[in-house]
Amino acid sequence: MRFIHTLALAASVFFGAVSMAADSVHEIAMKSIDGKDVKLSEYKGKVLLIVNVASQCGLTNQYTQLQALHEKYADKGVVVIGVPCNQFGGQEPGTETEIKTFCSTKYSVSFPMMSKVKVNGDGQHELYSFLKSHSDKKDDISWNFEKFVVGKDGKVAARFAPRTKPDAEEVIAAIEAALKK
C-alpha cells in the first residue's frame, strides 16, 4: 500500500510539473548571447519589446530602429530584447560571438541580446511558446523580426508582423500604453 501511495505521489508531482506552464515571461529563463543565465524576472516592472532577429535578412536594417527605440525609451522603463533565430532561410547562421560582433559593429546594438533559439516547432524555446499562446494571434512566428510588446506584468500586450517597423505608430502606441499600466 505504501508503494502505491509513493507511486501516486511521484506521478502527481511529475505530471504536475510537466503540465505547468508559465503565467508570465517573468517565469522564463534564457541564455544571454554571452552564455550567461538570464531570468526574465530581472525585467519585472519594465515593458519589453522582444524581437526574433537575424543578421542576413532583408529586414536586418530594423536593428537601426530597434537601437533608436532602445536609446529613446530605456530611461522610461522599456527594454528591447533581441533573440537570434536561424529558422527562416538560414539567415542567422553565425555563432553567438559572430552575431554579437555583427550587431555591435554594424548597428551599435547595446540592448540585451540572447543566445540563438528556435521560435517554432520541435525544440522551440519556452519564451516563444509563451508569447505565441498568450497573444491574440496564436500562429507560429512567420519570419525574422516579429515583435512582441510585453507589459510590466510579464503578459503579452501586442504582437506585430515582421514588416512592421519598430518605430511604426502602432508599435509606439502599444509601448506607450503598456508604460501607463
Q: What is the mean pLDDT of residues 40-63?
A: 98
Nearest in space to 60 (alpha carbons), one of 169, 132, 158, 166: 166
pTM for the structure as a whole? 0.89
Q: 131-152 pLDDT, tens per residue?
A: 999 999 999 999 999 999 999 9
Q: What is the mean pLDDT of residues 160-178?
A: 99
Share of the chain above pLDDT 90, in %: 88
Residue 5, pLDDT score: 45
Residue 21, pLDDT score: 78
Domain ranges of the chain: 22-180
Residue 166, pLDDT score: 98
Cβ–Cβ contacts within 10 Å for residue 16, how many?
9
Out of 1.20.140.10, 3.40.30.10, 3.90.105.20, 3.40.190.10, the CATH code matching 22-180 is: 3.40.30.10
- pLDDT of 118 above 80: yes
- pLDDT of 42 above 90: yes
Q: Looking at 1-5, 15-19, 72-76, 91-95, which range is the least confident one? A: 15-19
Active site residues: 57
pLDDT category at 7 given cuts 50, 70, 90 is very low
C-alpha cell at 93: 547562421
Average pLDDT for the chain = 92
- pLDDT of 120 above 60: yes
Q: 9-36 pLDDT, tens per residue?
A: 444 434 433 335 789 999 999 999 999 9
The full 3-state SS of 113-171, as one line of letters, equals: EECCCCCCCCCCCHHHHHHHHCCCCCCCCCCCCCEEEECCCCCEEEEECCCCCCCCHHH
Task: Report the alpha-carbon distance of residue 145 to residue 160 in Å, rounded.
Answer: 9
